[in-house]
């Protein structure tokens, strides 16, 4: 088995395409020895993986935090991730306080096929849980619903690292989503 350091060194030493292939090989090697958790963690959503958090501006001090999680991630965890990202962004942008509205939860049902070069291709259908939270930032806490960005960020990051979702609860949550998506 390759170790993590070997994967990093191999990826840096070769051309980008070979590095990408080597990284995939390393990931599959690590996957065989480490059990991956199906509950979504704190990460940024990307074009390659919709799972994670993203932010969009509504106006000057109002933002929407969207968190896309796996079908087995509890809504409470998605909301906690949204609040953690809102607080972290407040720290990054030197916004001392933020106020978060209650989260709106939805389910995003995946597609079982797509069209490529005029042909329908069957793909694995992946469904997601989604939480959206609107956040307002302020320099001062005008009422008790405003939370300090720095303290809240640290507290929520710590909680997210220690949260545990039992396997039976994960299975139940995944079944709920599957039923909603007609799977």
Do 29 and 71 sit in the same domain of this protein?
no
Q: In 3-state terms, what secondary structure has residue 113?
A: strand
Do 144 and 70 sit in the same domain of this protein?
yes
Do 4 and 76 sit in the same domain of this protein?
no
What is the full DSSP assignment across 152-174? HHHHHHHHHHH----HHHHHHHH
Do 101 and 159 sit in the same domain of this protein?
yes
Do 15 and 65 sit in the same domain of this protein?
no
Do 25 and 94 sit in the same domain of this protein?
no
Do 81 and 2 sit in the same domain of this protein?
no
For residue 6, the enclosing domain spans: 1-36
Q: What is the pTM of this model?
A: 0.76
Q: Say if CB 56 and CB 66 are below 8 A apart.
A: yes
Count the domains in the chain: 2
Do 137 and 176 sit in the same domain of this protein?
yes
Q: What is the pLDDT of residue 113?
A: 75
Do 58 and 89 sit in the same domain of this protein?
yes
Reading the chain (183 residues) residue by residue, the pLDDT tens digits are: 333 334 433 444 444 443 444 444 444 333 332 333 488 889 999 888 889 999 999 999 999 999 999 999 999 999 999 999 999 999 999 999 999 999 999 999 988 777 888 888 888 888 999 999 999 999 999 899 999 999 999 999 999 999 999 999 999 999 999 999 986
Give the Cβ contact number of residue 84 at 10 Å.
Answer: 23
How far apart CA 49 and CA 8 sit, in angstroms, is 21
């Amino acid at each position: 088995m390759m170790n993590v350091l070997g994967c990093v060194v191999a990826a840096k030493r070769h051309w980008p395409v070979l590095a990408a292939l080597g990284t995939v090989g390393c990931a599959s090697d690590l996957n065989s020895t480490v059990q991956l958790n199906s509950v979504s963690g704190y990460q940024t959503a990307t074009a390659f993986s919709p799972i994670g958090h993203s932010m969009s501006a509504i106006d000057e001090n109002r933002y929407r935090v969207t968190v896309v999680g796996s079908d087995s991630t509890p809504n409470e965890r998605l909301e906690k991730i949204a609040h953690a990202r809102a607080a972290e962004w407040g720290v990054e942008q030197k916004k001392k306080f933020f106020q978060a509205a209650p989260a709106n939860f939805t389910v995003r049902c995946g597609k079982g096929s797509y069209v490529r070069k005029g042909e329908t291709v069957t793909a694995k259908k992946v469904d997601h849980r989604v939480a959206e939270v609107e956040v307002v930032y302020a320099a001062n806490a005008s009422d008790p619903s405003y939370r300090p960005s720095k303290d809240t960020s640290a507290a929520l990051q710590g909680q997210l690292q220690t949260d545990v979702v039992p396997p039976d609860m994960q299975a139940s949550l995944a079944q709920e989503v599957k039923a909603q998506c007609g799977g």
